[in-house]
Structure 1
């Protein structure tokens, strides 16, 4: 049973755990530095701005004291131990003005009013009246002046925390995105490496565009998960934790009231993902299908134009594209309904609750929370909704990324072929098929095939389409294994030899040779360090490629674009011959290398074939029977069975199926037509080279 997508993503995240941990540490530091702001503001309000209403005492020292009418007054909490306190006085605010009371006040909280030189305080049923004098702006400033050093310290502290927050935000963003890029690089590498290990038959039923979509689009969506989603969610979660710690430090009851936000967010995410996952699964699937149809259309553009299928191809594409847009719009509607609306509603509801329960009383001092606490609380609570908004805005990316990750991991869960390091000595190439029967699905395409190909011999396989020629080659390469019978090379069963070792001494030249983007030389060596430049040039010369490639401006360094479309069929074929020769295989497979070559080029290629076959066991899938007259052994296949075998002369003397096929082709040639494969032969070329040899 495979692990969940989340667990596997976590395992990938742990590959860059050091940078992730560093980013999260910086994030925590940044959140703590940012949340220090409301606490500094609370201190400034309660201890310095509103602290002016605390009891003052007359003092003889002018240090940290306010001067009023030639007397010095200092706040009670500013006196050092043992310092004498004089007459107590109070400064109380009524409306926008402050009043000086030259005596102690027993109860400062309550409804205040000033009239006719008296300040009245009503607290419940108790009413207190004190003689009071209104302070001018300069007199009030004198009492605030001793608070300035403390305010400057808090402002400086706030600036320090602000710098820390900025640096932490930079470090967090850099390391988080850097680690995300590391993770995605590893994921892409693993996906691509796994594709290399998948058995060839896996690609027979999966369009190339869909595979490309998994490696590119889906991994890119997973990248968004690590960069945008992880960044916002980790920032959001740590911010929310920090906010709640700050709220409870400010006031436990206020913190408890605010806890209602958490279950709403969790429930919201669960419900959102339930709907969004359904839509995103279809969206990613449609995107893969769109990639597949684009890939197919581009590769088959000549056929589409020739058979005037542009309209039908466009209609197929538009149908997929319209379906893709339909589900994108459904996701758009879902996001529009559930994004900012809920965040704003939550924010407004939380503020209403706090202000309704505590706000009015705090403004006149009748409740247990100070105005500084209330300000800090509202400030801190407000800071929580910014990360919540960031998290909500990433819900669409979160779900899309999880769906894409699931698709990537589904591909990676496909059983692959084991990779075995090392190599084996070059074998001689004695190939024996012993009662081999094979079926791709249910029906057997090969039945009791038995033959021996000795080292250095050339074995030709002939027969109509579907007779089993290519299936024999597929078994020889171990793209598939037979259900019955055994295949041995030099007496050793091929199933006991690691596939990489087995194939390292095999070479193939296809009907439609596949060239990679690069140069002619790089297509011969395929980037193998064991094949030197000298060996590449020698192989090209030995197969006669220099005759057809000499006119190119850069010679063997001439650039090759996709599939070698700028080169002729003969040039491509000679390059593939040189490739096979440079790897010096013990077993060589030729899939009718001259079937789509002009007569003039064919003579060059026939000479190249003789060079190529020398000293190797060679299998030829033959379409033109005239090209295999010199074969040591010809196997005639019909419906998966060997119906005739022998040399050309022996089979002609037999007068059977081979004789009739040869006479038919010879007759076509005698009639003046260019020698071509007969109707019973396999197609001469395929528009797109499949990863495996087609069944035939």
Structure 2
């Protein structure tokens, strides 16, 4: 089991195209978004008010002993602080709210998009990576709105407002205060560049970790059967070490940057105290101005320290957005432009000069021509990889043909509306997948139009009713993940019921009884014949004994039809079918 590691680049600057596309998701909530911008501006305007009123309180009231005036200014100051707290609460709430509703919309859109993708896409894409896209990457977008974009705008406005007030009060002291600003800017830029790389490494490590875990937990039986526990554990440790190392690098940069920023700020405050104290002693500066400037400086440097972190939050949100939009831009979806629908199908299937390849020009089906008349049973036989399953995958449009034409009742299957086509074609696969839910849900897949009575009627037809009734709760019995509490045969019977409950006109059985023991197969074989009566049926047979009564048998070899006929006709030919038949007889004899 190999796992290709994902490599992405965060880019040199924030991609404005991605931000513009993100904004399209904001449009339905423009009122709340503009209110958030208003709150951001209000916070920036309120930021310098506290130091200013403290300065006024000291210079205009404390120094002259005006108690009444001091009480009034304190009341004003308390009121402004309460107002600032209220605005801050509203800003935090609405930024978080907007972030959550947007990621809800994007996650819904992404999952709907995944539902429409071709199976070929899932063949080539690790499931863990798709989980990362739909969960972790989208979750990162919430931070773009709650801690990234709006917060950065607020920080920048706060810087401009505070700087303007400082210059208005005392431009000389302001210039002294800003002596350490170049050092802060340089250290912030270096931190931003370093943390940007580590954040991207962390995201890649998370994606690789998710992919590895999903693949190996799903295939745990293979790992244990072949005694690969130690080796897979070592591989997991390697990936986990990369994840840990990426996180530690980010922690290291934070542990260096913030102490450095504190030292730079302390130096700036020290210069202000020194210069201001000289001014106060020389009666050139009021003590309230000096105290307010110390507070202004603390307020001024805080957004600068945070802006690097905000930028990288925005940067990672843009990186995650790029990945998500790349997935949304995927054109590997199943075209559903067909508008033809029908209430009843006759079941006349025809393949004309069909060519198909899963990868480029490596054709697994070559110039296939076959016809199944309504009510007939067609059996497909051949060695593994001959192309049997590919034919039925094409009939249900799980994959698209490269060339040729497939029609049902004379209509090209691409002209059918996809849901209508699959409504009339019942498929029973060899590998049965059951969800962690009740038997009733696994049969109906949540379709409210199918009653329990209909389910039990279908179960009666395929011989599954008795075993379902014996289970605790019957149809309400929870089969757990992948149907782990049921036997292979029971899972297969449920798949029969799942196909038959829709009463399809065309039935496809992909080696549906190969996982069932001989005794169970004998019990359901008669029911299968009843189920196929009056329906067009295509059967991929593992056991040739099950297809003796087929109207027509097609033998495939390396993607080509090599023999066609009934069971007796093919035995008389003495070709591929005869060889397969003799091999099975020898196996049974052993």
TM-score > 0.5 by shorter chain: yes
* Contact 1:543/1:612 (<8 A) preserved: yes
Query: What is the correspondence of 1:462-473 to structure 2 with a 5 Å cutoff?
Result: 462-473=381-392
Q: For the residues of structure 2 that align with 1:418 and 1:253, how far apart are their CA atoms?
A: 69
Superposed, 1:378-389 pairs within 5 Å as: 378-389=294-305
Aligned to 2:117: 198
Could you tell me which residue of structure 2 aligns to residue 44 of structure 1? 57
Unaligned 5+ runs, structure 1: 53-143, 674-696
Q: Which residue of 2 aligns with 1:508?
A: 427
Output the CA distance in 1 between the equivalents of 2:520 and 2:535: 24
Structure 2 partner of 1:365: 283
Aligned CA-pair RMSD: 2.7
Which residue among 300, 303, 309 is the counterpart of 2:222?
Answer: 303
Residue number among 18, 24, 41 corresponding to 1:11 in the alignment: 24
**Cα gap change, 1:481 to 1:270, in 2 (>3 Å):** farther
Q: CA deviation at 1:634?
A: 0.8
Match of 1:608 in 2: 527
* Aligned partner of 1:527 among 428, 446, 457: 446
Among candidates 344, 347, 362, match of residue 262 of structure 2: 344
What's the CA shift for 1:255? 5.1
Of Structure 1 and Structure 2, the greater helix share is in 2
Larger RCO (alpha carbons 8 Å, 6+ apart): 2
Aligned to 1:188, which of 75, 100, 107? Answer: 107
Q: Does 1:293 align with 2:212?
A: yes
* Alignment partner, residue 354 of structure 2: 436
How many angstroms does 1:222 deviate by? Answer: 2.8
Q: Distance in 1 between matches of 2:463 and 2:557?
A: 36
**Distance of 2:538 and 2:95 partners within structure 1:** 56
Corresponding residue for residue 6 of structure 2: none
Residue pair 2:180, 2:267 contacting (<8 A) in 1 also: no
Tell me how far 1:636 sits from its aligned partner.
Answer: 0.4
Kept after mapping to 1: 8 A contact 2:59/2:288: yes
Q: What CA distance in whole angstroms lies between the structure 1 residues aligned with 2:159 and 2:403?
A: 65
Match of 2:499 in 1: 580
Q: 2-side partners of 1:323 and 1:659: how far apart?
A: 56
More strand by share: 1
Q: How far apart are the structure 2 equivalents of 1:561 and 1:662?
A: 39
In the alignment, what sits opposite 1:592?
511
Q: Deviations over 1:70-117 (max 9, x none)?
A: xxxxxxxxxxxxxxxxxxxxxxxxxxxxxxxxxxxxxxxxxxxxxxxx
Instruction: State the Cα deviation string for residues 269-316 of structure 1 (Å, max 9, x = none).
Output: 655444444333333223222222222222222222222111111111
Q: Does 1:321 align with 2:240?
A: yes
Q: Provide structure 2 residue ranges, at least 5 long, that are not aligned to the other structure.
A: 1-14
Q: How does 1:246-261 map to 2 (within 5 A)?
A: 246-252=165-171, 254=173
Q: 1:259 to 1:456 in 2, by over 3 A?
A: farther
Residues 112-261 of structure 1: matches in 2 within 5 Å? 144=65, 147-230=66-149, 232-252=151-171, 254=173
Match of 2:582 in 1: 663
CA distance in 2, matches of 1:348, 1:463: 80
**Alpha-carbon separation, structure 1, partners of 2:274 and 2:245:** 45
Q: CA deviation at 1:424?
A: 1.6
Question: How many angstroms apart in 1 are the aligned matches of 2:584 and 2:477?
Answer: 39
CA–CA separation in structure 2 for the residues paired with 1:251 and 1:31: 20
Could you state the TM-score of these two structures normalised by the residue count of structure 2? 0.89
Matches within 5 A, 1:80-99: none
From 389, 399, 404, the equivalent of 2:320 is 404
Give the aligned partner of residue 342 of structure 2: 425
Q: How many pairs does the alignment contain? A: 573
Contact 1:434 1:487 in 2 (8 A): yes
Q: Distance in 2 between matches of 1:428 and 1:569?
A: 33
Residue 413 of structure 1 is matched in structure 2 by 329
Residue of structure 2 equivalent to 1:450: 369
Q: Which moved more, 1:478-487 or 1:246-255?
A: 246-255
Give TM-score, length-normalised by structure 1.
0.76
Distance 1:664 1:293 in 2: 40
Q: Shift of the alpha carbon at 1:559?
A: 1.0
List per-residue Cα deviations over 1:327-386 (Å, max 9, x = no partner). Answer: 333333333333341x224423443554555552244223xx544333323322222233
Q: Is the deviation greater in 208-217 or in 384-393?
A: 384-393
Contact persistence 2:440–2:475 (CA under 8 A): yes
When structure 1 is superposed on structure 2, of 586-595 and 288-297 the one drifting more is: 288-297
Change (3 A) 1:414 1:273: farther
* Preserved contact between residue 276 and residue 399 of structure 1 (Cα < 8 Å): no
Which structure has the larger Rg?
1
Residues 478-512 of structure 1 deviation map (CA, whole Å, 9 limit, x = unaligned): 23222222111221222333434432322211112
